Amino acid sequence: MQTIVEKHIDALTPERLAKLVNVPGVPALSLYMPAGRSGDESRQNPIRYKNVCKRAAEALAAAQTPGEVTERLMARLDALGADVPRYWEHQSDGLAVFVTTDFFAALRLPLSFAEDVRAGASFDVLPLLPALRLNTRFALLNLNLNGVCLYAGSALTWERLELADVPPTIRDYRGTLDRERQLRMHSVGGNGGTSAVFHGHGAADDQAHKHDTREFFRLLDAAVCKAITTEHLPLVLAGTPANRGLYREVSRYPHLLGAGIEIDPEADDAQSLQLRALPIARAIAESETQAALARMHVSARRVTGIEAVLPAAHTGRVDTLFVPEDVRIPGHFDVQTQVVANDDAADVDLLNQAVIDTLVHGGKLYSVAASASPAALLRY
């Protein structure tokens, strides 16, 4: 079998998670560790990694893994970062590593994992589930009149989108208006001479600026709708309160959020805007989770407790699984009788198995508060 190597992964998608749980091979090693991004913390990264690798070797020995297999797995772990200069200085908040004899993957994620090592028949993916919230996509519109910008992304990805058929600045927009006025004057028989231009003063000037800004935003909104409507992305506005208010007056975008970001009119740093928007993105993800929970609670097809959830997941009946964070349920599951038994001394985590079975059958996952019980919305 060809070895699959996926190093330096910086995002976890549902598709990647589903691929991970479908990797064959025993033993399957899962390693988790916190990481530091810079300074003294980053210098501790290789030391932490050596510690979890030592624990991995101990776990393999405890599982009576053949020596040849152990050597192969440990060689894969030892090779991490060897091909990337200063690899350990360029980490996120947590590192997760998954390895079998024919597979290797390392994920750098903005989650501070507790140090843990597990060897079993499948990968331990429970600590990864909160990272799925980081995939919640949204759009952000910077209402800088000297250079409007539209971005789309998540906590992990960020890109600038093209705005078609709209001037980039209000000055360009006014220039377009002036040219249109001149063309209209010529078309009605203007003599080509210089026309008089009257400038307003005080309140009149402010009204003219407000009118131009509103019309500019109307044109901008049409371009924004064209760029992001197909994804139905929640839209966050960044700008002065006055500009955000004017944009709301004219916008026809149905997913415009009430929350916004107040910034300096000239602020256009893409990364800082993303960071400022992350609390709103987390709120979006939480609202999606709560909406899914509400649908589950009013459905007759809901089940709660690992004793009911795991058999349903194993038989492919789970449409949506709600997984409490930082919860472990060791035990045994008899696939023939469908009986679940808790056992604190067991090596198998029943909740992890429910997650794997749900993903194998194409179900959805939500990470919920640790105080909640495992629950599921069934397909039938």
3-class DSSP assignment, residue 29: strand
Q: Which residues of the chain does CATH 3.30.1330.30 include?
A: 299-380
CB 17, CB 363: distance < 8 Å: no
Which residues are paired to 304 by β-bridges?
A: 375
pLDDT per position as a tens digit, 180-211:
555 555 555 555 444 444 444 566 667 888 89
Letter for the amino acid at 204? Answer: A
According to the model, what pLDDT value does residue 344 have?
93
The segments of the chain whose pLDDT lies below 70 read 1-8, 177-205, 265-268
Strands 158-161 vs 149-153: parallel, antiparallel or unpaired: antiparallel
Which residues touch 322 (CB under 8 Å, ≥6 apart)?
A: 292, 293, 296, 366, 368, 372, 374, 375, 376
Which residues touch 379 (CB under 8 Å, ≥6 apart)?
A: 301, 316, 317, 318, 319
pLDDT per position as a tens digit, 318-359:
999 999 999 999 999 999 999 999 999 898 999 999 999 999
Q: Which residues of the chain does CATH 3.30.960 include?
A: 1-124
Letter for the amino acid at 207? Answer: Q
CB 35, CB 92: distance < 8 Å: yes
| Separation of alpha carbons 312 and 319, rounded Å | 10
Homologous superfamily of 135-286: eRF1 domain 2 (3.30.420.60)
User: Which ranges constitute the DSSP H helices of the chain?
Assistant: 14-21, 39-43, 45-62, 67-78, 170-187, 203-228, 241-250, 270-297, 306-314, 350-360
According to the model, what pLDDT value does residue 179 have?
59
Classify 299-380 by CATH class.
alpha beta
Determine how many CB atoms are found less than 10 A away from the CB of residue 331. 20
CATH topology of domain 1-124: 3.30.960
| Separation of alpha carbons 190 and 178, rounded Å | 15
Which residues are paired to 342 by β-bridges?
A: 331
Cα angle: 292, vertex 293, 295; to 5 degrees: 65
Residue 292, CA atoms < 13 Å, CB-side half-sphere: 20
CB 124, CB 352: distance < 8 Å: yes
CB 378, CB 312: distance < 8 Å: yes
According to the model, what pLDDT value does residue 201 have?
52
The token duo for 17 is 């998670």
| Separation of alpha carbons 86 and 90, rounded Å | 7
* 377 membership: H or E segment, kind and range: strand 375-378
Q: Find the farthest-apart pair of alpha carbons in the chain and give their distance in angstroms, rounded.
A: 97
The token duo for 127 is 């600590």
| Separation of alpha carbons 75 and 261, rounded Å | 48
Cα angle: 6, vertex 9, 12; to 5 degrees: 110
Which residues touch 340 (CB under 8 Å, ≥6 apart)?
A: 306, 307, 310, 311, 331, 332, 333, 350
Letter for the amino acid at 272? Answer: S
3-class DSSP assignment, residue 309: helix
DSSP string, 118-182: EEESS---GGGGGGGGGG--EEEEE--TTS-EEEEE-SS-EEEEP-TTS-SSHHHHHHHHHHHHH
* 364 membership: H or E segment, kind and range: strand 364-368
